[in-house]
């Protein structure tokens, strides 16, 4: 297929001002009548053909201004409708298409999930419903009439506000009409029809509007919506208080469906969610699930302003709404919980998902310039790195100018489909800072490496930091320019005090943020009264790979004393990472792993430090994952050696500080009833992190505690934590626990996902065979994206040693599965294949196997565009 390029963007030749949809639903045959009010754009030559997008459509009627079109007046194909010579003035087009919702396994367009009709239109799904100018810069006002059998679909939902509803006389059918007054692109269209239960609440906006809030779920799940509803109300309030944004319709509806390709979708006034991000009970959801729901509910709600009121001009601008909205949901969660803990969690996610993407063949700029399939660009780079870019902007211009820039953006662009340039211009105006160089963060792919060397001159009272930035070539970008990098710095003195320099030369500053702009930049801090330990990149002020010359003792000093909690965590992690890389090299030579006494002491101090919040201590104790270690090693990786080293390292810590671990484990026991709040969740996180050490240590008594923990658990967080340790450490009691869990949750699909996942991620040679077997389990279904992700996705992306098996069987299995899945659901298949993104960093034997699996797929002739795009880019 021909690629789409940013430089080819042209405004649409025709405009659509209003859309009237009449949707008559039936499982195998849904009729969609679309009445479009069209007008030629002023710079379009009269007589220019009107070309509408379609995808797999069947046209069953067509008329223009009430007149049925004759054969020569148009041409039609499943993917295109052309009106050869449209009127020069405004006109109305009526298009009827007939769809088969049950045959729609791609879960794009109109489909049925467990009997509920629902839609997914982003990015290009509306064209699977009717012929349209399916592009985000075509904004129209929609009125939607939905009709279905009363028995089949008592609930009928559309965008906007409800207008009228009633029976269709003389039939067993009824209808509802919805009107959305806010012009929107087609990707924000949605409708839902089904037999659903509803949980309701209300919210009064700061502008005095009373909003009805409804969450629709399958019958029986009404009791699992409280947390989602609570999260929604808090999101609405927060957006008013922090961004000055109020809700703008009389209703806000959320529908949870079980078959959904992503997390959720921000359709105007009618958010559709993967049920995983709505349903939560202590019995079935972990603390992580609760936090995920809070985040995703907030994210979709925040899109109402950043995405819906102001949308993207074209799909290259995707980060305009996604990066910004992730930034907003991160800030929301930080305010709801512990800011430091949230920041650490976000940076961990960035490093584990985005950094490897940026380092491999799938690397692309935050704003790409070319795509074959836009659905493959809903990536960690666009979302998470996109959020980091917004965060850097705030860091460089300061909080006040940032808020002023946001206000200006909302004021100036409300109701528009716009660009990154327009967004940046608002902040440049609000701050007076030239953002020209900064805009390279949107253009250049790859993670910059920032090397820092420090020289302290005692007599002169001077610290000199030399920054060197490097950005490696990435696909289609051989040469890179230097970036504008915000580096937040503190100087820690020996007595736990921050040292304040009398002057800083060599860099512009915003508060404690240095502006690093040149390939080599020397910054001098003078007037220092003692030896400082520089705390660099506080709060992870830029998404770079920092290589400082601080030694282990300086880093452990920061780990214990830094005023910035993020950097305390980061300092410890960096010591641990260095040790794990050395241990991996040792493991490859069959050497025993030892952990330095200083590092052991740092761990012990952390476990026992009650002045720190438990959630933070838990994060400090969690070792970098195997994929993180592999990423830092960067080339010729042997995943078995990584696994062996990490396992031995964890065992050494567990054994060396066993009594401390055990004591804190006991102290974190909570007698009170389960509550999902951050404080309680933090205690469970620490306790369950310690449980992981107990289960992986040499002491059989410690091991035994895991089984007891499983049996005593009265909530999913504890139960699943114990099940994971039992399974991954292959402890006695594992099989019984897996069986007991299966028995208990057989009928709860979301809980069974965890059961699939925990087995698929077990680092043992028998796992691949087990995963193969589990594809035949009655609870598994290749048609459900959550099940597929839980079993195959988890194996491919969450099991380093087994996916990357030395014999290549892991690659072959995933490639074969993805190949079959591609015929049913290309988006899900393509996402699965992105697990291959780091194949070039493997040692030669595995590399050859991975390449063979990719080449085998590339040779297939009938791959979807989605799959081919990923496979071919992986091979580039």
Residues 472, 488: Cα–Cα separation, whole Å: 23
Beta strands in 154-207 (DSSP E): 155-158, 161-167, 173-184, 191-194, 197-204
Closer CB to Zn ion, 322 or 554, in the complex: 322
DSSP state, residue 187: G
Give the nearest distance from C-beta 264 to Zn ion in angstroms: 8
Which of Zn ion, ligand B3K, none is residue 805 near (CB under 5 to 8 Å by kind)?
A: none
Which of Zn ion, ligand B3K, none is residue 674 near (CB under 5 to 8 Å by kind)?
A: none
Residues 633, 655: Cα–Cα separation, whole Å: 27
Give the nearest distance from C-beta 187 to ligand B3K in angstroms: 8
Three-state secondary structure call for residue 551:
coil
Which of ligand B3K, Zn ion, none is residue 869 near (CB under 5 to 8 Å by kind)?
A: none
Residues 443, 421: Cα–Cα separation, whole Å: 12
Closer CB to ligand B3K, 423 or 756, in the complex: 423
Which of 122, 124, 147, 300 is labelled catalytic?
Answer: 300
300 near ligand B3K, rule: CB under 6 A? yes
Residues 26, 39: Cα–Cα separation, whole Å: 33
Q: Which of 106, 174, 299, 413 binds ligand B3K (CB under 6 A)?
A: 299
Give the nearest distance from C-beta 109 to ligand B3K in angstroms: 12
For ligand B3K (CB under 6 A), the number of binding residues is: 12
Distances (CA, A) of 17 to 10, 40, 119, 185, 631: 18, 11, 22, 11, 50
Nearest C-alpha neighbor of 118 from the set 221, 214, 231, 218: 218
CB atoms within 10 A of CB 318: 26
Closer CB to Zn ion, 214 or 267, in the complex: 267
For residues 53 and 34, is the Cβ–Cβ distance under 8 A?
no
Closer CB to ligand B3K, 322 or 753, in the complex: 322
The stretch near ligand B3K (CB under 6 A) out of 259-267, 515-523, 730-738, 742-750 is: 259-267
Cα within 13 Å of Cα(192), Cβ side: 29
Give the nearest distance from C-beta 390 to ligand B3K in angstroms: 15
H runs (alpha helix) in 589-733:
597-608, 614-621, 626-633, 639-656, 658-667, 678-696, 700-712, 716-728
Which of ligand B3K, Zn ion, none is residue 122 near (CB under 5 to 8 Å by kind)?
A: ligand B3K
Peptide bond between residue 123 and the one before it cis (omega within 30 degrees of 0)? yes
For residues 678 and 336, is the Cβ–Cβ distance under 8 A?
yes
Which of Zn ion, ligand B3K, none is residue 754 near (CB under 5 to 8 Å by kind)?
A: none
Closer CB to ligand B3K, 319 or 445, in the complex: 319
Give the nearest distance from C-beta 459 to ligand B3K in angstroms: 56
Distances (CA, A) of 32 to 145, 505, 620, 701: 10, 66, 55, 65
Which of ligand B3K, Zn ion, none is residue 287 near (CB under 5 to 8 Å by kind)?
A: none
The stretch near ligand B3K (CB under 6 A) out of 298-306, 357-365, 512-520, 842-850 is: 298-306
Q: Mask 262-281, x = binds ligand B3K (CB under 6 A)?
A: x-xxx---------------
Closer CB to ligand B3K, 262 or 396, in the complex: 262
186 near ligand B3K, rule: CB under 6 A? no
Non-local CB neighbours of 648 within 8 Å, separated by 6+ positions: 583, 587, 592, 593
Residues 564, 572: Cα–Cα separation, whole Å: 13
Which of Zn ion, ligand B3K, none is residue 378 near (CB under 5 to 8 Å by kind)?
A: ligand B3K
For Zn ion (CB under 5 A), the number of binding residues is: 2
Check if 671 is active-site. Answer: no
Give the nearest distance from C-beta 273 to Zn ion in angstroms: 12
Which of ligand B3K, Zn ion, none is residue 375 near (CB under 5 to 8 Å by kind)?
A: ligand B3K
Closer CB to Zn ion, 117 or 327, in the complex: 327
869 near ligand B3K, rule: CB under 6 A? no
Give the nearest distance from C-beta 262 to ligand B3K in angstroms: 5
What's the token pair of residue 261?
């390709």
Residues 694, 710: Cα–Cα separation, whole Å: 13
Closer CB to ligand B3K, 131 or 302, in the complex: 302
Residues 374, 354: Cα–Cα separation, whole Å: 18
Q: Mask 98-137, x = binds ligand B3K (CB under 6 A)?
A: ------------------------xx--------------
Give the nearest distance from C-beta 307 to ligand B3K in angstroms: 7
Give the nearest distance from C-beta 376 to ligand B3K in angstroms: 9
Closer CB to ligand B3K, 300 or 564, in the complex: 300
Give the nearest distance from C-beta 108 to ligand B3K in angstroms: 8
* Location of structure tokens 């770079």: 544
Interface of this chain with ligand B3K, residues 577 to 636, rule: CB under 6 A = none
The stretch near ligand B3K (CB under 6 A) out of 9-17, 299-307, 358-366, 592-600 is: 299-307
Residues 315, 369: Cα–Cα separation, whole Å: 10
What's the token pair of residue 49?
């053909």
Residues 570, 253: Cα–Cα separation, whole Å: 41
Nearest C-alpha neighbor of 554 from the set 573, 532, 530: 532
What's the token pair of residue 686?
């620490």
Phi, then psi, of 48 in degrees rounded to 5: -60, 130
Closer CB to Zn ion, 294 or 656, in the complex: 294
CB atoms within 10 A of CB 470: 15
Interface of this chain with ligand B3K, residues 372 to 391, rule: CB under 6 A = 375, 378
Which of ligand B3K, Zn ion, none is residue 123 near (CB under 5 to 8 Å by kind)?
A: ligand B3K
Cα 646 to the center of its chain, rounded Å = 27
Which of Zn ion, ligand B3K, none is residue 180 near (CB under 5 to 8 Å by kind)?
A: none
Distances (CA, A) of 559 to 191, 390, 451, 581, 840: 52, 27, 20, 19, 34
Interface of this chain with Zn ion, residues 310 to 349, rule: CB under 5 A = 322, 325
Give the nearest distance from C-beta 789 to ligand B3K in angstroms: 14
830 near ligand B3K, rule: CB under 6 A? no
Give the nearest distance from C-beta 816 to Zn ion in angstroms: 32
Hey, what's the torsion of the CAs at 800, 805, 809, 810, to 10 degrees? 0
Nearest C-alpha neighbor of 676 from the set 334, 289, 237: 289
Non-local CB neighbours of 686 within 8 Å, separated by 6+ positions: 614, 615, 617, 618, 621, 664, 668
Closer CB to ligand B3K, 272 or 336, in the complex: 272
Closer CB to Zn ion, 187 or 665, in the complex: 187
Non-local CB neighbours of 287 within 8 Å, separated by 6+ positions: 676, 681, 684, 685, 717
Q: Where on the chain is the footprint of Zn ion (CB under 5 A)?
A: 322, 325
Active site residues: 300
Q: Where on the chain is the footprint of ligand B3K (CB under 6 A)?
A: 122-123, 262, 264-266, 299-300, 303, 322, 375, 378
């Amino acid at each position: 297929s021909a690629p789409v390029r940013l430089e080819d963007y042209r405004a649409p030749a025709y405009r659509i001002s209003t859309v009237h949809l009449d949707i008559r639903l039936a499982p195998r045959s849904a009729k969609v009548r679309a009445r479009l009010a069209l007008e030629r754009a002023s710079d379009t030559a009269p007589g220019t053909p009107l070309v509408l997008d379609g995808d797999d459509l069947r046209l069953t009627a067509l008329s223009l201004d009430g007149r049925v079109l004759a054969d020569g007046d148009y041409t039609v194909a499943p993917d295109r409708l052309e009106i050869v010579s449209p009127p020069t003035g405004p006109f109305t087009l009526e298009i009827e298409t007939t769809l088969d919702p049950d045959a729609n396994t791609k879960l794009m367009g109109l489909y049925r999930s467990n009997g509920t009709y629902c839609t997914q239109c982003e990015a290009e799904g509306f064209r699977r419903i009717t012929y349209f100018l399916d592009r985000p810069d075509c904004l129209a006002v929609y009125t939607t009439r939905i009709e279905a059998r009363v028995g089949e679909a008592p609930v009928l939902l559309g965008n906007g506000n409800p207008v009228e509803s009633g029976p269709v006389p003389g039939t067993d059918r009824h209808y509802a009409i919805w009107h959305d007054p806010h012009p929107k692109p087609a990707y924000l269209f949605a409708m839902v029809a089904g037999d659903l239960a509803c949980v309701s609440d209300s919210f009064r906006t700061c502008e005095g509007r009373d909003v009805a809030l409804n969450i629709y779920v399958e019958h029986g799940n009404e009791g699992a919506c409280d947390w989602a509803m609570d999260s929604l109300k808090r999101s609405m309030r927060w957006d008013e208080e922090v961004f000055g944004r109020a809700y703008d319709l009389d209703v806000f509806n959320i529908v949870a469906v079980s078959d959904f390709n992503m997390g959720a979708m921000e359709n105007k006034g009618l958010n559709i969610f993967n049920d995983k991000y709505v349903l939560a009970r202590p019995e079935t959801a972990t603390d992580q699930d609760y936090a995920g729901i809070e985040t995703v509910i907030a994210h979709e709600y925040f899109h109402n302003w950043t995405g819906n009121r102001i949308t993207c001009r074209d799909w290259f601008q995707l980060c305009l709404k996604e990066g910004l909205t992730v930034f907003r949901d991160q800030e929301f969660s930080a305010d709801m919980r512990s800011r430091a803990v949230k920041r650490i969690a976000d940076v961990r996610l960035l490093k584990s998902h985005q950094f490897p993407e940026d380092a491999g063949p799938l690397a692309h700029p935050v704003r790409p310039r070319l795509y074959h399939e836009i659905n493959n660009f809903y990536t960690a780079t666009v979302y998470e790195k996109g959020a980091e870019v917004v965060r850097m902007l705030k860091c460089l211009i300061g909080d006040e100018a940032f808020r002023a820039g946001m206000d200006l953006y909302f004021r100036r662009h409300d109701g528009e489909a716009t660009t990154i340039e327009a967004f940046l211009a608002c902040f440049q105006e609000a701050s007076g800072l030239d953002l020209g160089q900064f805009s390279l963060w949107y253009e250049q792919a790859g993670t910059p490496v920032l090397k820092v060397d420090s020289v302290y001159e005692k007599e002169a009272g001077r610290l000199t930091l030399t920054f060197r930035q490097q950005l490696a070539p990435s696909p289609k970008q051989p040469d890179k320019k230097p970036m504008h990098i915000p580096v937040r710095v503190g100087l820690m003195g020996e007595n736990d005090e921050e040292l304040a320099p009398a002057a800083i030369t060599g860099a512009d500053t915003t508060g404690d943020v240095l502006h690093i702009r040149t390939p080599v930049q020397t910054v001098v801090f003078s007037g220092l009264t003692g030896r400082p330990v520089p705390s660099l990149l506080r709060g992870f002020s830029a998404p770079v790979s920092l290589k400082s010359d601080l030694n282990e003792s300086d880093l452990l000093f920061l780990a214990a004393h830094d005023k910035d909690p993020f950097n305390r965590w980061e300092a410890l992690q960096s010591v641990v990472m260095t040790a794990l890389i050395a241990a991996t090299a040792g493991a490859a030579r069959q050497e025993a792993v030892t952990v330095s006494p200083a590092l052991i002491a740092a761990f012990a101090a952390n476990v026992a430090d009650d002045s720190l919040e438990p959630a933070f201590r838990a994060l400090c104790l969690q070792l970098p994952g195997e994929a993180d270690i592999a990423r830092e090693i960067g080339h010729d990786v042997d995943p078995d050696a990584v696994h062996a080293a990490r396992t031995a390292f964890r065992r050494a810590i567990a054994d060396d500080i066993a009594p401390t671990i055990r004591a804190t484990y006991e102290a974190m026991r909570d007698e009170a009833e389960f509550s999902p709040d951050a404080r309680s969740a933090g205690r469970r996180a620490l306790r369950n992190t310690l449980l992981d050490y107990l289960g992986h240590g040499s002491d059989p008594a410690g091991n035994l505690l895991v089984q007891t923990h499983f049996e005593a658990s009265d909530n999913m967080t504890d139960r699943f934590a114990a099940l994971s340790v039992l399974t991954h450490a292959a402890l006695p009691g594992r099989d019984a626990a897996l069986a007991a869990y299966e028995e208990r949750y057989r009928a709860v699909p979301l809980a069974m996902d965890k059961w699939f996942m925990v087995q698929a991620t077990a680092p043992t040679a028998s796992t691949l065979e087990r995963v193969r077997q589990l594809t035949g389990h009655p609870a598994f279904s290749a048609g459900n994206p959550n099940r597929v992700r839980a079993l195959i996705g988890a194996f491919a992306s969450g099991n380093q040693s087994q996916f990357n098996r030395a014999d290549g069987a892991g690659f072959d299995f995933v490639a074969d599965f993805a190949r079959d899945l591609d015929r049913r659901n290309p988006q899900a298949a393509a996402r699965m294949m992105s697990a291959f993104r780091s194949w070039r960093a493997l040692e030669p034997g595995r590399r050859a196997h991975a390449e063979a699996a990719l080449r085998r797929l590339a040779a297939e002739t009938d791959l979807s565009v989605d799959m081919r795009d990923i496979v071919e880019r992986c091979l580039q």
